[in-house]
DNA sequence: CGCCAGGGCCATA
DNA sequence: TATGGCCATGGC
């Protein structure tokens, strides 16, 4: 089963996800995606959304609003998302960076991935989420869910962030719409079935999954070698390598 | 209740 | 290059 096969199987199971979940309340609306990408770093989306609600209440709706927020106001608004001092700093850095392009329009047309990666507090996943979901560039987002799902199935065993990203981008049409939908479907699969403690019963990827256990009980601890629950695996064995 | 979320930075070895 | 500590809150 190739990547497109997995994609269509997930799409058939879960249907279109319609990510990113924005509510058209920021200016521009795409700015909410950028803010959300920072707020959800290692944080439940529910908590990130509380912070977004607070920003709406406080009318901190644009990059300029973030840059001009009074001392401590930003921190208080985003407190529910956790790590709030760090995240306030990261949002200020991102807002200033966007404004250095003369606003979101210039930013979205001209910014490059390496430039975004140079912004302090923005790592590869946050940057790629912004590029894909806010700007519409065809960049595949790799997150912890993606690694877990595709390691467990045996599709890919290792590799750094760029290796994983190349694997997906080289195995799919260069299409931001497909990248968005696929990543969202992977998250849905990871939440419903491929959780930390896997619930394999009914999983749409069970047939062909290397670590599937048919009767639905969680795999025995002896099958899980890493803290993230991946099965033990031989170097170079079985799965497709991340790099060519 | 304790665990842990849609990461990333930094200090250390 | 690769671990480990750190950041912090609220859902479950």
Per-residue burial over A83-113, b if 16 or more Cβ lie within 10 Å, else e, is: bbeebbbbbbbbbebbbebeebeebbeebee
Provide the CA A83 to C1' C5 distance, Å, integer: 15
pLDDT higher than 90, residue A238:
no
A84 Cβ contacts chain B strand, under 7 Å: no
Integer CA distances (angstroms), A161 to A44, A73, A158, in order: 22, 35, 9
Tens digits of per-residue pLDDT, A127-152? 999 999 999 999 999 999 999 999 99
A129 Cβ contacts chain B strand, under 7 Å: yes
Tens digits of per-residue pLDDT, A139-185? 999 999 999 999 999 988 778 999 999 999 999 999 999 999 999 99
A123 Cβ contacts chain B strand, under 7 Å: yes
Q: Nearest-CA neighbor of A157 among A84, A220, A210?
A: A210
Percent of chain A clearing pLDDT 70 (strictly above)? 86
Residue whose token pair is 């799409």: A11
Whole-angstrom distance, CA of residue A54 vs CA of residue A51: 5
Q: What is the pLDDT of residue A220?
A: 41
- pLDDT mean over A36-65: 97
Q: Which residue has the higher pLDDT, A58 or A232?
A: A58
| pTM score of the predicted model | 0.90
A84 Cβ contacts chain C strand, under 7 Å: yes
Q: What is the pLDDT of residue A90?
A: 98
Q: Which of A28-32, A81-85, A210-214 has the lowest mean pLDDT?
A: A210-214
């Amino acid at each position: 089963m190739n990547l497109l096969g997995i994609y269509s199987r997930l799409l058939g199971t879960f249907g279109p996800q319609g990510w990113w979940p924005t509510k058209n309340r920021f200016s521009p609306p795409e700015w909410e995606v950028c803010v959300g990408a920072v707020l959800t770093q290692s944080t439940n989306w529910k908590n990130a959304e509380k912070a977004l609600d607070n920003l709406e209440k406080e009318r901190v709706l644009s990059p300029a609003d973030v840059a001009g927020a009074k001392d401590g106001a930003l921190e208080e608004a985003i407190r529910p998302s956790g790590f709030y001092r760090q995240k306030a700093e990261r949002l200020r850095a991102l807002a200033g960076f966007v404004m250095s392009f003369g606003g979101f329009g210039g930013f979205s047309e001209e910014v490059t991935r390496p430039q975004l990666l140079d912004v302090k507090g923005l790592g590869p996943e946050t940057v790629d989420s912004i590029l894909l979901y806010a700007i519409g560039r065809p960049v595949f987002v790799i997150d912890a869910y993606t690694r877990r799902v595709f390691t467990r199935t045996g599709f890919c065993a290792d590799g750094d962030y760029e290796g994983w990203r190349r694997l997906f981008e080289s195995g799919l049409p260069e299409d931001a719409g497909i990248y968005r939908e696929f990543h969202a479907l992977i998250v849905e699969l990871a939440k419903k079935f491929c959780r930390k403690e896997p619930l394999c019963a009914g999983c749409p990827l069970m047939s062909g999954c290397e670590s599937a256990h048919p009767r639905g009980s969680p795999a025995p601890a002896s099958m899980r070698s890493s803290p993230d629950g991946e099965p033990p695996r031989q170097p170079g064995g079985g799965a497709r390598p991340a790099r060519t």
